[in-house]
Structure 1
Amino acid sequence: MPILDLIEFFDPSGEIIVVKQPQAGSGEFRLGSQLVVQESQLAVFYRDGKALDQFGAGRHTLTTLNLPLVGRLIGLPFGGQSPFRCYVYFLATKTFTNLGWGTTTPVLFRDAEFRMVALRAHGAYSIRITQPALFLQTIVGTKGIETTHALEQFFRTVIVSRLNEAIGKSLRSVLDLAAKYNEVGLEVRRTVRADFEQYGVELVDLLVEAISLPDDVQQMVNRATGVAVQDAEKYRAIAISDAVRDAAKNSGSGGGGSGLGDGLGLALGLGLGREMARAVGAPMASASAATSERISAGDLRTRLGELKALRDEGLISDADFEEQKRRWLGQL
């Protein structure tokens, strides 16, 4: 094997975190060989699985003075020219941004409202190697990871495991997700940062870009959060809106008040808990009864005012408004 008189690595892509030279096995070096380390790089000599001497950016002529650990390990004579076997790891010390992470399969979350919910999530993170020897020992030496892709896969597993813990700690239900999003992200960053430090890596930033729900759960959450589910008046608005819409659809079939009854069933079929049933039950019962009784002019004005408010908020259409007004006028 020829002696390596020049050792360097240039990464035109700017995406390689760590690379070994020579790529297979070890190489023969000698005192006087030139080592070229690029900006934002660090070179670490290795022998027998041990990290030895380190070199920062610049051109270095190898001597017993700048290879003290190698020299002691293999007994290099001062000024000697005998070749010695080692290999060199070039590590990028810059910050690597926009590394991706995500759940490859859904993770299960025990939800207080929906029982078990399968969640998916993804995001991005940025890292920087701060302790090269520790990184090489724990990641390269122990894990056998020598490529950026393999490193990204390894850290993805770490992040996803911490995401599960953060969601369980921060959320009672996915209904709270919008309000707790930042809290989930902060908890993931806190725990993942400590994990990465064990490998000589600094977590510069981590973003939880999205946490997605199954379609059926997402539809219920959208409906609930879109009308502020904590507000009982909004529950009432949902119920009345649904009842009016269903009544209009059934008005031509002789169904009488059955449309409003069906609307009540739809409102209570969202699976959002007994609280919603209590909130909408009373007003819907009175609304259903109203379809079969005579009403006074004063009651009509009150009801039309409430109906107009629903239309103004966009909860019912103009056609729904006109249809229900016509029905109430027929009950005078």
Structure 2
Amino acid sequence: MGLFDEIKKKLSHEFIDIVEWLDDSQDTIVHRFERYQNEIKNGARLIVREGQKAVFVNEGQLADVFGPGTYELTTSNLPILTTLKGWKYGFDSPFKAEVYFVNTRLFTDEKWGTKNPVMLSDERFGLTEIRAFGTYSFRIEDPGKFVVDVVGTDGNFTNYEVNEHLKSLIVTRFTDTVGEANLPLELYAANTSELSETCREVMEPEFARVGIELEKFYIENVSMPEELKKEIFEYSRLDKLDMSKLSQFKAAKAMEAAASNEGGTAGAGMGMGMGFVLAQQMGSMMAQPQAAQPQQPRGPVASVPPPVPVPPAYYYAVDGRQQGPVPYERLQELFASRAINRDTLIWKQGMAQWSALSEVEELKSFLGGSTPPPLPGN
């Protein structure tokens, strides 16, 4: 470049009188207005469009901030910069200052997600892992604070750069929030709306600290390992299952099988009928005290086997709320996993009142360390 071209370039920059930014991108958040040696002519025209704000910075110090509109740059329009520069009687042309244009529109549909699983502790399933992802929306609320604290001297600060910072903040606060929520594991996926709102309230002050407003925050999905999902579904079904009806159904099916094996086709038909009748009778017996049965006459053994014994169903109390009924084996699993203990209140049909587990005779084996009674004659 020749000497004449260099002088022409300097003059064209030195006497520029319009300061503006025409955004031709979709992801620029902050753009620094470039000029030769940061010089702006006295009386220059500043144009700030809708969705923008202009931030003046003097040697690293925040000065004046302008919203949408057209301004003539004089001492009356630059009160903070005038104070910083010490302009008592106006200023010489040109003056030096950095001008940053900040995009204040709403940035929507920004993605976030947990790169690594979040560890949670559940009293029923132990240590578990979950993952989550979703979207959020934000805008620059305080351009001056954002430029000074986040942008620094970056001449073209993009959406990608700020999102890297925000995603780390979101994942950290999300992990803290779900850990402190202490919800049953299956409720995290079922209550994403409430959890999203709680997370947004927790994150808002963190965003505001750097001049950003968190407009929306959504959790779209909370996922967990497939094995854990199956275990939760099975637990849920067992918790809702009516054990007495299940026992009646199994008894009827057993009668069908016995009659079919003993009497062929005719026996099968009779067995099915008797099985259904037996199921109805067992339902009536569970609802009413059992009536005295007439003594069976002595003679050959009847061809129909006696009813299959119905296993006892136990109810238990957790945090003052009734749970169950559950079979003996499930109660044993709950004790082994420490969901219940020796002091947990237990009730089953035939008991006059609720009793501690340690006082129910057939459940004392859960406690271990049982001592046999003395031998007869000793």
Which of 205, 230, 237 aligns to 2:239? It is: 230
CA distance in 2, matches of 1:27, 1:182: 49
Query: What is the deviation of 1:293?
Result: 4.5
CA drift at 1:60: 2.0
What displacement does 1:129 show? 2.2
More helix by share: 1
Please say if 1:10 is aligned against 2:22: yes
Separation (CA, whole Å) in 1 of partners of 2:25 and 2:244? 59
- One-letter identity of the residue aligned with 1:17: I
Deviations 1:25-49 (A, max 9, x none): 9622121222221111110101222
In 1, distance between residues paired with 2:122 and 2:248?
29
2:196 matches 1:221: no
**Mapping of 1:1-332 within 5 angstroms?**
2-3=13-14, 4-22=16-34, 27-76=38-87, 78=89, 80-141=91-152, 146-224=157-235, 227=237, 229-233=238-242, 293-294=258-259, 296-301=271-276
Please name the residue that 1:275 is paired with: none
For the residue of structure 2 that corresponds to 1:210, the secondary structure is strand
Distance 1:204 1:232, change over 3 A: same
- Counterpart of 2:188 in 1: which secondary structure? helix
Deviation string, structure 1 residues 126-147 (Cα, Å, up to 9, x no partner): 1222222222233224999932
Report the alpha carbon displacement of residue 218 of structure 1 after superposing the two structures with TM. 2.8
Determine the C-alpha separation between the residues in 2 that align with 1:126 and 1:83. Answer: 40
AA matched with 1:194: P
Q: Partner letter of residue 74 of structure 2?
A: T
TM-score, normalised via structure 2 length: 0.59
Alpha-carbon separation, structure 2, partners of 1:236 and 1:12: 71
Normalising to structure 1: TM-score of the pair? Answer: 0.66
Q: What is the CA-CA distance between 1:196 and the residue it aligns to?
A: 1.5
63 and 302 in structure 1: CA distance in 2 versus 1, 3 angstrom threshold: farther
Change (3 A) 1:31 1:209: same
Q: Is the Cα–Cα contact under 8 Å of residues 171 and 180 in structure 1 kept in the other structure?
A: no
| Structure 1 gap ranges (5+) | 241-281, 306-332
Cα deviation for residue 288 of structure 1 reads: 9.3
Gap runs ≥5 in structure 2: 1-9, 261-270, 281-378
- Cα distance, 1:155 vs. partner? 1.1
Structure with larger RCO (C-alpha < 8 A, sep 6+): 1
2:18 alignment partner AA: L
Residue 65 (structure 1) shift:
1.1
- Residue 97 of structure 2 aligns to a residue whose secondary structure is strand
Distance 1:179 1:303 in 2: 41
Aligned-partner Cα distance in 2 for 1:48–1:166: 41
Check the 8 A contact 2:31/2:156 in 1, yes or no. no
Amino acid at match of 2:86: G
- Aligned partner letter, 1:6: I
TM-aligned CA distance change 1:59 to 1:189, over 3 Å: same
Q: Distance in 1 between matches of 2:211 and 2:72?
A: 28
1:171–1:177 CA contact under 8 A, matched in 2: no
Q: Is the CA contact (8 Å cut-off) linking 1:193 and 1:203 kept in structure 2?
A: yes
Percent of aligned pairs with the same residue? 30
Letter matched to residue 204 of structure 2:
R
Q: How far apart are the structure 1 equivalents of 2:125 and 2:228? A: 8
Report the number of matched residues: 261
- Counterpart amino acid of 1:301? F
